[in-house]
């Protein structure tokens, strides 16, 4: 019996964060034993903002190296760079012609990113969900891991696929969200009401996977909390402490309730030190492997070439069927 297909990816803008790791990558590693996994580095999606070309190339390889260092196995999963599989853009144009302006204008992420990048509101930012739909539908993904900020994109993917299937006959599989039993939406350390982001400009807000132990401890100690001194999980009234409890819960494997009891008589300073040390130990083996891999250009190249070849086998088959159904000469 064939395994269900999972498709996911992370943009290659900036270094990966603790949020990327705990919220996504740890689940990528777990899923690869039970699913047919396609993990991409979404470099095309990164183009909606202005990038330094050399930095974009470096960041793409950094993401690949961190995927590998974190335990994503190229023998178990298909790991590829999005732009190396040209079928993504080929299908995207077809789907653009089956997507309505009104649908795209309702996307909250477009509104949010337009506000942040008011000097560069480009059409790629507007049609971003269509490229994402192409990513998913090319591989017949059964499941797509999505956070709160991506649910709309999965919904529009299903809408586009249903519309195409209704016009041209059964072509695309309708994907469903993958809801992880573990993992969490990790928030910023200085702004615990917003998701931890690699594009954050707030000092000490984000822990990067390649941060040194000293830097990690410094950022955790400076994490914004409150003044009542109680180590309790209460997102509304204590978002900072709640965020640190979530981080420590995932890393330690202990339930929030256990941690509340464990630190009942501890100070915020003691709690922060414990959380910081736990993060350092969690990332230590990943950083060691990353430092070995990132300078091995031949190995990285062999992984992304093999991954693109594997991905393209399925992508080509899908795009050929789509082209045939819409009447293109193939």
pLDDT confidence tier of residue 184, bands split at 50, 70 and 90 = low
Count helices and strands (H / E) in the chain: 13, 5
If you average pLDDT over residues 155-178, what whole number do you get? Answer: 95
Rounded to whole angstroms, the Cα distance separating 55 from 38 reads: 25
Q: What percentage of the chain carries pLDDT values higher than 70?
A: 93
Average pLDDT, the chain: 92
Q: Which of 139, 126, 150 is nearest to 175 (CA)?
A: 139
Render pLDDT for 90-146 as a digit per residue (tens, 0 to 9).
999 999 999 998 888 887 776 666 666 667 677 878 888 999 999 999 999 999 987
For residue 39, report the phi and psi dihedrals to the nearest 5 degrees. -115, 115
Query: What amino acid positions are annotated as catalytic residues?
Result: 113, 195, 198
Residue 304 makes CB contacts below 8 A (sequence gap 6+) with 64, 79, 80, 81, 84
- pLDDT higher than threshold 70 for residue 149: no
Question: Which residue's entry shows tokens 């290659």?
Answer: 12
- Domains in the chain, ordered, with CATH? 5-179+297-326 (3.40.50.620), 213-291 (1.10.240.10)
Residues of 92-118 as b/e, b for ≥16 C-beta within 10 angstroms?
Answer: bebbbebbeeebbeebeebeebeeeee
- Give tens-digit pLDDT for 248-276: 999 999 999 999 999 998 999 999 999 99
> Contact, 12 vs 59, CB < 8 A?
yes
DSSP symbol at 22: I
**Whether 128 contacts 114, CB under 8 Å:** no
For helices 297-326 and 123-138, the axis angle rounded to 10 degrees is 90
pLDDT category of residue 209 using cuts at 50, 70 and 90: very high
CA distance 284 to 95: 43
Task: Give yes or no for a contact between 319 and 311, defined as CB atoms under 8 angstroms apart.
Answer: no
Of 81, 2, 87, the C-alpha closest to 39 is 81
Half-sphere exposure (Cβ direction) of 104: Cα atoms closer than 13 Å? 20
Asked if residue 316 has pLDDT above 80, the reply is yes
């Amino acid at each position: 019996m064939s395994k269900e297909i999972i498709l996911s990816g992370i943009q290659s803008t900036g270094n990966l964060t603790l949020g990327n790791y705990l919220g996504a990558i740890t689940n990528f590693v777990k899923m690869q034993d039970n699913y047919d996994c396609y993990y991409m580095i979404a470099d095309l999606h990164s183009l909606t903002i202005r990038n330094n070309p050399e930095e974009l190339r470096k960041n793409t390889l950094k993401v690949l190296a961190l995927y590998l260092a974190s335990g994503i196995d190229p023998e178990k999963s298909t790991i590829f760079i999005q732009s190396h599989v040209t079928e993504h853009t080929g299908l995207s144009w077809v789907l653009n012609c089956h997507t309505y302006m009104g649908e795209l204008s309702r996307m909250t992420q477009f509104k949010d990113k337009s506000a942040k990048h008011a000097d560069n509101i480009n059409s790629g930012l507007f049609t971003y969900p269509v490229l994402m739909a192409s990513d998913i539908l090319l591989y017949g993904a059964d499941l797509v891991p999505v956070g709160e900020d991506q649910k709309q994109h999965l919904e529009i993917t299903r809408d586009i696929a249903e519309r195409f299937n209704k016009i041209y006959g059964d072509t695309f599989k309708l994907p469903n969200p993958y809801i992880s039993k573990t993992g969490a939406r990790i928030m910023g350390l200085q702004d615990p009401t917003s998701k931890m982001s690699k594009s954050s400009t707030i000092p000490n807000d984000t822990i990067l996977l390649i941060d040194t132990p000293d830097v990690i401890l410094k950022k955790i100690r400076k994490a914004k909390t409150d003044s009542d001194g109680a180590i309790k999980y209460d997102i509304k009234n204590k978002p900072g402490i709640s965020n640190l409890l979530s981080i420590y819960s995932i890393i330690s494997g202990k339930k929030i309730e256990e941690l509340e009891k464990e630190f009942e008589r501890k100070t915020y300073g003691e709690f922060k030190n414990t959380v910081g040390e736990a993060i350092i130990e969690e990332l230590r083996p990943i950083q060691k492997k990353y430092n070995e891999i990132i300078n091995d250009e031949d190995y990285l190249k062999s992984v992304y070439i093999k991954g693109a070849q594997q991905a393209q086998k399925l992508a080509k088959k899908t795009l050929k069927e789509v082209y045939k159904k819409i009447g293109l000469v193939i």
